[in-house]
Structure 1
Amino acid sequence: MNRLTQGVILLLFGGAILRASFTDLYLRYVKEGLRPFLIATGVLLVAAAVMTIWYSWRFPAEHDDDGHGHSEHGPGVGWLLILPVLGLLLVAPPALGSYAANQAGSVAAAPVGDSDYPPLPEGSTVELSLIDYASRALFDEGKSLTGRDLKLTGFITTAPDGAPMLARMVLSCCAADGRPIKLGLTGRAPIDVPADTWVQVTGVYTGQRGKDPVNNVDVAFLEVKSWQEVPQPKQPYA
């Protein structure tokens, strides 16, 4: 591959990173706080690409000759490396969903320590993250949840027995290390809803528990009172 080809690929790759960074697309790959690093990386790649292309045009003889009278032109197949880069520019892959959730074991919800869980905010219905609900349900025996209507948002996945579960992917850094947090659903659970459908469920705490068959982690349950389909959130990961 000659330097011109390298420069074009660098330019497209840097452009793809910048395009994702200046839209919400990057949230499908990394956590929100990494946006400045993506922008810096994209700028550096574009700058390197511009310098490489300029050098190949400014000094074509020096670029094409290896000093022994041999031309440095690489095989045309090198340009095929542009295809995956164009894929990043033209096709936006979806965020991790039910397939990834079913392949990986549920995140083990962690207790807050020796102190009690703080009381939930006032209001008729309290919105919680899945991991906050699971942590309070499993390690606080639902003390801070009892008697409250709770609203949670996630996508539908299925248990091995076909029962619907509510899930959301949790990232440490990027989508490559994403793992799911899963909740079992009882009551008026969304039955026969396609996997990957995003729903907002309103329900109450139940002491029922289960096990994730993938890694044998405890799974909390929620008794559903009502639910509705919602668009995928801007930030799909927890």
Structure 2
Amino acid sequence: MSRLTQAVVLLLFGGAVLRASLTDLYLRYVKEGLRPFLIAAGVLMVAAAITTIWYSLRSSGKSDEEQHDHGHEGHHEPRVGWLLILPVLGLLLVAPPALGSFAAGQSGSVTAAPSDSDYPPLPPGDPAPVALLDYASRALFDDGRSLTGRTLKLTGFITPAPDGKPMLARIVLSCCAADGRPIKVGMTGQTPIEVPADTWVEITGVYSPQRGKDPVNDVDVAFVEVKSWQEVAQPKNPYS
């Protein structure tokens, strides 16, 4: 592949990184805190590509003059190298969906970690918004003491349990989508039955002492007693 072709591919790839990082698209790939690093990487790639293209065109012009003076034909690189642009264009034009129920069904639930100290009070309001991972940790390791007596609001997507019953799930990232693992919470009460997988729902409920096991990796799974629920749009940041 010629240096010019490499530079064009790098320019497009850098442009794709900038497009993703300057919009909410980057949240499909990495954690929210990595945005500044993506922007910096995209700017560097675009700058390097533009510099390389400028030097390549300048060198090509001098080479053509020399070849004309000597009466020789120029050497052309195989054009098949330009096909490498196709996957970069795909990255520019096609936005992949966020990980959902299929990934949750293939991976075992994240092991909710106990807190090193007492759990802080829940946010004010009724119902109190609680992240799925925080709920599971409080339910499993605090025996629901910090949850009891409060009405809770949890948001996630529907994923079917092995017995077909719906579970509430969300993908937890350590760094990027490649290492995403689900946190799953079982549901009792007014569960959203017959709701298609990957449907995002917001449930209002209370702590349930019931527990289960994730058959994929045999970790404990917390449950929540659902009082009501409604379908919602996928959040801007679908990951936890």
Contact kept in structure 1, 2:132 and 2:169, CA below 8 Å: yes
Q: How does 1:129-140 map to 2 (within 5 A)?
A: 129-140=131-142
SS state at 2:103 partner: helix
Cα distance in structure 2, aligned partners of 1:62 and 1:6: 20
Q: Which amino acid aligns with 2:144?
A: G
RMSD of the TM alignment (CA)? 1.8
Give the aligned partner of residue 162 of structure 1. Answer: 164
Cα distance in structure 1, aligned partners of 2:148 and 2:191: 19
Give the aligned partner of residue 24 of structure 2. Answer: 24
Cα distance in structure 1, aligned partners of 2:75 and 2:97: 40
Give the aligned partner of residue 144 of structure 1. Answer: 146
Contact kept in structure 2, 1:120 and 1:126, CA below 8 Å: yes
Give the aligned partner of residue 111 of structure 1. Answer: 114
Residues 85-109 of structure 1: CA deviation (Å, up to 9, x unaligned) = 0011101001111111111111100
Give the aligned partner of residue 193 of structure 1. Answer: 195
SS state at 1:81 partner: helix
Cα distance in structure 2, aligned partners of 1:22 and 1:73: 37
Cα distance in structure 2, aligned partners of 1:74 and 1:204: 67
Q: Does 1:225 align with 2:227?
A: yes
Give the aligned partner of residue 38 of structure 1. Answer: 38
- Alignment coverage as a number of residue pairs: 234
Contact kept in structure 1, 2:123 and 2:129, CA below 8 Å: no
Give the aligned partner of residue 91 of structure 2. Answer: 88
Cα distance in structure 2, aligned partners of 1:81 and 1:46: 17
CA distance 1:191–1:63, shift in 2 (3 Å):
farther
Q: How does 1:173-192 map to 2 (within 5 A)?
A: 173-192=175-194
Cα distance in structure 2, aligned partners of 1:62 and 1:99: 56
Cα distance in structure 2, aligned partners of 1:105 and 1:72: 55
Q: CA deviation at 1:116?
A: 2.4
CA distance 1:227–1:60, shift in 2 (3 Å):
same
Q: Which amino acid aligns with 1:197?
A: T
Contact kept in structure 2, 1:212 and 1:219, CA below 8 Å: yes
CA distance 1:230–1:58, shift in 2 (3 Å):
same
Q: CA deviation at 1:61?
A: 6.4
Q: Which amino acid aligns with 1:11?
A: L
TM-score by length of 1: 0.93
Q: CA deviation at 1:138?
A: 0.3
Cα distance in structure 2, aligned partners of 1:16 and 1:121: 38
Cα distance in structure 2, aligned partners of 1:73 and 1:108: 57
Decide which moves more: 33-42 or 76-85: 76-85
Give the aligned partner of residue 47 of structure 2. Answer: 47
SS state at 2:137 partner: helix
Cα distance in structure 1, aligned partners of 2:125 and 2:40: 42
Cα distance in structure 1, aligned partners of 2:165 and 2:96: 27
SS state at 1:39 partner: helix
Residues 166-221 of structure 1: CA deviation (Å, up to 9, x unaligned) = 00011111111111100011111111111111110001111111111111110000
Cα distance in structure 2, aligned partners of 1:73 and 1:232: 49
Which one of the candidate residues 192, 206, 211 is aligned to 2:213? 211
